[in-house]
Homo-oligomer: A and B are copies of this chain.
Amino acid sequence: MVQKKIVLATHNQHKRHEMNRVLSSMGITIVGLNDFPQIGDIEETGKTLLENAFIKARKVFELTGIPSIADDTGLEVNALDGAPGLFSARYAGENPTYEDNINKLMLALEGVPKEKRNAKFRTIIAFVDFNKELHSEGIAEGVITEIPEGRDGFGYDPIFKPNNFNKTYAEMDIEQKNKISHRGRALKKMKKLLINYLK
């Protein structure tokens, strides 16, 4: 089997390992942006998660020549008409901490009762290579808790409790979270698309 590479548009080693684990059985090795120091920040100027994911994947493909994958994720809160959505990572301003974003969301939902705190996490994964573009979507529905719970994970994990589970993402171990999370689901679908593509 000819060994293949995919560049994942991230500096996050954890994300890279996770994708490597899922795709290595297909003879695919995931490399991260740490291997390409010449690639600077890529501006996410899209109007949707899908656009942003493809902006990043196409840019990395153009710069490296290697098939590339990028993802974008948003948290969509029903009571806020889908906010923070596309702007989840920068909800509380430029370069906010996870805590800044969580505090802002807690404030925005102050007084909103449990049964109206529904939200969904959505991840889009985009793949771009010489001859093809593919994408997948993963959604996890749940509720925003009234106080942060748990210390694992990152981002909004401490305040997101997926449906049918009595704990937040931040209270789950990484394997459990990967199985049911928006990102885990999008990744599983992307794997299927790649298997089919490589047939």
Q: Give the residues in chain B near A129, CB-CB below 8 Å.
A: 129-131
Task: Report A162-199 CB contacts with B as 1/0, cut-off 8 Å.
Answer: 00000000000000000000000000000000000110
Q: Give the residues in chain B near A17, CB-CB below 8 Å.
A: none
Number of copies of this kind of chain in the complex: 2
Q: Give the residues in chain B near A62, CB-CB below 8 Å.
A: 2-4
B67 touches A130 (CB 8 A): yes
A6 to B64, CA, bound (A): 11
Q: Give the residues in chain B near A58, CB-CB below 8 Å.
A: 2
**Does A128 reach chain B (CB closer than 8 Å)?**
yes
**Does A11 reach chain B (CB closer than 8 Å)?**
no
Q: Give the residues in chain B near A66, CB-CB below 8 Å.
A: 64-66
Tell me, rounded to whole Å, the shortest Cβ–Cβ distance linking A184 to chain B.
24
**Does A7 reach chain B (CB closer than 8 Å)?**
yes
List the 8 closest A-B pairs by CB distance, nearest first. A5-B65, A65-B66, A3-B62, A67-B130, A129-B130, A2-B58, A4-B130, A66-B66
Known: A2-B61, A31-B65, A65-B66. 11 other contacts (CB 8 A): A4-B62, A4-B130, A5-B65, A7-B65, A64-B66, A65-B67, A67-B130, A129-B129, A130-B198, A131-B131, A131-B132
Supply 26 A–B pairs (Cβ within 8 Å), ascending by A.
Answer: A2-B58, A2-B61, A2-B62, A2-B128, A3-B62, A4-B62, A4-B65, A4-B130, A5-B65, A6-B65, A31-B65, A64-B65, A64-B66, A65-B65, A65-B67, A66-B66, A67-B130, A129-B129, A129-B130, A129-B131, A130-B130, A130-B131, A130-B198, A131-B132, A131-B197, A131-B198
Q: Which residue of B lies closest to A197 (CB)?
A: B131
Q: Give the residues in chain B near A130, CB-CB below 8 Å.
A: 4, 67, 129-131, 198
